């Protein structure tokens, strides 16, 4: 397996260290299936459990049971903290939009980590060995195939920070997706872009100190060379982790140049909504 250069590994560390979870309480306990009333109707949440190398993984899914037929599937790849309440909230948002949404449990047992050191240790494995990240996705995908509420032929993948870069890699490693969305993710992922007909939406903070201008230009050149259909959006003055309401507090805690940006958060969410509606036509 090819190793990343030291500079790239350090760049990845700086990028993923900034990712922040909405609520870092442990999710180790199994989650029961729950149906709750929302302003947009009923949303049912459920745990999708499966074993990988002797470890039980507990991905988190949500959908509206009042909607008839099979629903388009949106996989949500979390920040490096794991299955936090933040990423679960994003899953429920997508369910309200009419999708079968599922957050992928990378670490097993629905684990949520408490420190940047532990998060960096666990997440770096998937940068260094991308095929293991693919195995994580394939395991939950195989469960989705037999889920009656999910349309296996209409799938997209989105991700935040660590999950944003992993979403880019999964789209490059798999031809299963109609579209991929990266929110403030690293762009130098170690897997070369290839044209497999998936559409890309990359949502970046223009003031993000974790993603350099050189990295952006190299990414665009790579995508153009592969003739990939993509849209790159820069949000003025937005720093890294701009979609997470806890980013400002976490930035102060760890002395990192990250912050929540409400305008960029709302605009990027709307970009994603339009993008998903288009790819699932």
For 189-201, write each residue's pLDDT tens digit: 889 998 889 999 9
Per-residue model confidence (pLDDT) at position 10 = 35
Per-residue model confidence (pLDDT) at position 41 = 60
Do residues 92 and 39 make contact, with C-beta atoms less than 8 angstroms apart? no
Distance from C-alpha of 50 to C-alpha of 143, rounded to nearest angstrom: 8
Residue 12 banded pLDDT, cuts 50, 70, 90: very low
Dihedral sign of CA atoms 100, 155, 108, 139 in order: positive
What are the distances in angstroms from CA 3 to CA 7, 28, 67?
11, 32, 46
Per-residue model confidence (pLDDT) at position 50 = 95
On the question of pLDDT at 27 being above 60, the answer is no
On the question of pLDDT at 270 being above 50, the answer is yes
237: left (phi over 0), alpha (psi -120 to 50) or beta: left
SS3 sequence of the chain: CCCCCHHHHHHHHHHHCCCCCCCCCCCCCCCCCEEEEECCEEEEEEEEEEEECCEEEEEEEEECCCCCCCEEEEEEECCCCECCHHHHHHHHHHHHCCCEEEECCCCCCCCECCCHHHHHHHHHHHHHCHHHHHHHHHHHHHHHHCCCCEEEEEEEEEEECHHHHHHHHHHHHCCCCCEEEEECCCCCCCCCCCCCCCEEEEEEECCCCCCCHHHHHHHHHHHHHCCCCEEEEEECCCCECCCCCCHHHHHHHHCCCECCCHHHHHHHHHHHHHHHHHHCC
State the chain's mean pLDDT as an integer: 87
Among 20-34, 87-101, 224-238, 239-253, whose mean pLDDT is lowest?
20-34
Among 125-134, 155-164, 238-247, whose mean pLDDT is lowest?
125-134
> pLDDT exceeding 70 applies to what percent of the chain?
85
Per-residue model confidence (pLDDT) at position 196 = 85
Dihedral sign of CA atoms 137, 251, 14, 111 in order: negative
Q: Are strands 41-52 and 34-38 parallel, antiparallel or unpaired?
A: antiparallel
Residue 255 banded pLDDT, cuts 50, 70, 90: confident
| Residues across the chain | 281
Distance from C-alpha of 225 to C-alpha of 194, rounded to nearest angstrom: 9
Distance from C-alpha of 69 to C-alpha of 263, rounded to nearest angstrom: 35
On the question of pLDDT at 35 being above 90, the answer is no
Per-residue model confidence (pLDDT) at position 108 = 96
Do residues 168 and 244 make contact, with C-beta atoms less than 8 angstroms apart? no
Buried b (16+ CB within 10 A) or exposed e, 101-117: bbbbbbbbbbbbbeebe
Per-residue model confidence (pLDDT) at position 8 = 40
On the question of pLDDT at 20 being above 80, the answer is no
Mean pLDDT of 109-123: 91
Among 33-47, 149-163, 189-203, 208-222, whose mean pLDDT is lowest?
33-47
Distance from C-alpha of 87 to C-alpha of 96, rounded to nearest angstrom: 14
Residue 19 banded pLDDT, cuts 50, 70, 90: low
Among 11-25, 43-57, 73-87, 201-215, whose mean pLDDT is lowest?
11-25
Per-residue model confidence (pLDDT) at position 103 = 98
Per-residue model confidence (pLDDT) at position 32 = 43
Do residues 278 and 178 make contact, with C-beta atoms less than 8 angstroms apart? no
* Residue 200 burial class via C-beta count within 10 angstroms: exposed 0-12, middle 13-18, buried 19 and up: buried
């Amino acid at each position: 397996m090819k190793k990343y250069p030291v500079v790239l590994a350090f760049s990845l560390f700086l990028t993923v260290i900034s990712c922040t979870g909405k609520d870092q309480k442990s999710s180790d306990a199994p989650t029961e299936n729950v149906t709750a009333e929302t302003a947009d109707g009923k949303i049912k949440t459920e745990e999708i459990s499966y074993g990988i190398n002797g470890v039980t993984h507990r991905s988190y899914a949500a959908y509206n049971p009042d909607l008839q037929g099979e629903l388009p599937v949106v996989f949500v790849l979390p920040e490096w903290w794991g299955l936090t309440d933040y990423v679960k909230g994003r899953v429920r948002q997508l369910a309200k939009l009419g999708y079968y949404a599922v957050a992928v449990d990378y670490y097993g047992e629905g684990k949520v980590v408490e420190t940047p050191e532990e998060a960096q240790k666990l997440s770096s494995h998937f940068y260094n060995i991308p095929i293991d990240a693919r195995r994580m996705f394939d395991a939950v995908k195989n469960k989705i195939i037999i889920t009656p509420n999910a349309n296996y032929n209409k799938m997209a993948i989105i991700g935040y920070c660590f999950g944003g870069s992993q979403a880019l890699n999964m789209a490059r490693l798999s031809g299963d997706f109609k579209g991929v969305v990266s929110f403030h993710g690293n762009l130098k992922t170690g897997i070369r872009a290839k044209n497999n007909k998936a559409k890309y939406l990359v949502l970046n903070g223009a003031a993000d100190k974790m993603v350099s201008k050189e990295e952006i230009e190299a990414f665009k050149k790579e995508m153009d060379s592969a003739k990939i259909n993509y849209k790159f959006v820069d949000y003025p003055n937005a720093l890294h982790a701009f979609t997470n309401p806890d980013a400002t507090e976490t930035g102060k805690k760890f002395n990192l140049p990250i912050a929540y940006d409400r305008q960029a958060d709302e605009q990027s969410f709307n970009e994603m909504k339009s993008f998903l509606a288009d790819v699932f036509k």
